[in-house]
Structure 1
């Protein structure tokens, strides 16, 4: 069985997403026909099927929808990271996103907790978006 690559495959379509992540910016796609945002990036709207979609800078704010602590994963590079907290978050813009929780959220995640995007740069230089507990601002 072939081992999946440790890094995402970046092509001409997804390059804007990964380039923005490298600058610490989270991008999502928004349909210009029905105005709904979606993630993962697609070349068409999953709601109305329009191809009139564009990149948009997301706020980076989210709330925790669900999570699970992964104690065993035999696939590289995840095998070296166990335990880690896999999560699904609801972005403020609407879409749900699969991610990882870091920065103190691993031991005490609470459904509905406020989160903010952070980025981890992998050994190959690709920045991966993940989420951590939001810093309270006065």
Structure 2
């Protein structure tokens, strides 16, 4: 339990993932192949993960906007040992969306083919790992995929 009396408020108490009131629109859009971020109505800056307060200016007037999915690989690593339920090695990276926010996600592809600054796109993927996703079981997840030519 997270201590909240609001059944839609998942909090951050750990355990299985839940769809909370701030993330429900994100997961719904992702299942349709769209990636949403929050944008502040006061400072007009986008941010991720979603939250009721803008991390840039502290305003509470935020709205969902569809991100293009276009991004640049900011950093990446290969994790040789993975926790139970995950196949090793795991490629993880921080990608910077065209809209500004940086997102930590799995990277599709081969480690040796990745380069800092490389164009990538966020894509909806099936989540087939053995981790208990709670309310998110059966929902899409996301990863970054290298883009070799944006005109494709």
* TM-score interval, smaller chain: 0.7 to 0.9
Q: Where does structure 1 lack aligned partners over 5 or more consecutive residues?
A: none
Residue 119 in structure 1 maps to residue 124 in structure 2: yes
With normalisation by structure 2, the TM-score equals 0.79
Residue 89 in structure 1 maps to residue 95 in structure 2: yes
With normalisation by structure 1, the TM-score equals 0.87
Distance in 2 (alpha carbons) for counterparts of 1:29 and 1:62? 16
Residue 101 in structure 1 maps to residue 114 in structure 2: no
Structure 1 runs (4+) deviating above 2 angstroms are 104-107
User: 5 Å matches for 1:20-35?
Assistant: 20-35=29-44
Is the contact made by 2:123 and 2:142 (CA closer than 8 Å) also made in structure 1? yes
Q: Where does structure 2 lack aligned partners over 5 or more consecutive residues?
A: 1-13, 129-136
How well do the aligned residues superpose, as a CA RMSD in angstroms?
1.7
Instruction: State which of 58, 70, 74 in structure 2 corresponds to 1:65.
Output: 74
Distance in 2 (alpha carbons) for counterparts of 1:63 and 1:22? 23
Q: Secondary structure of 1:19's partner? A: helix
Q: 1:105/1:35 Cα in 2 relative to 1: closer, same or farther (>3 Å)?
A: farther
Q: 1:26/1:32 Cα in 2 relative to 1: closer, same or farther (>3 Å)?
A: same
Tell which deviates more after alignment, 125-134 or 30-39.
125-134
Alignment deviations for residues 61-93 of structure 1 (CA, whole Å, 9 cap, x no partner): 00000000011122x43xx32112110000000
Is the contact made by 1:105 and 1:133 (CA closer than 8 Å) also made in structure 2? no
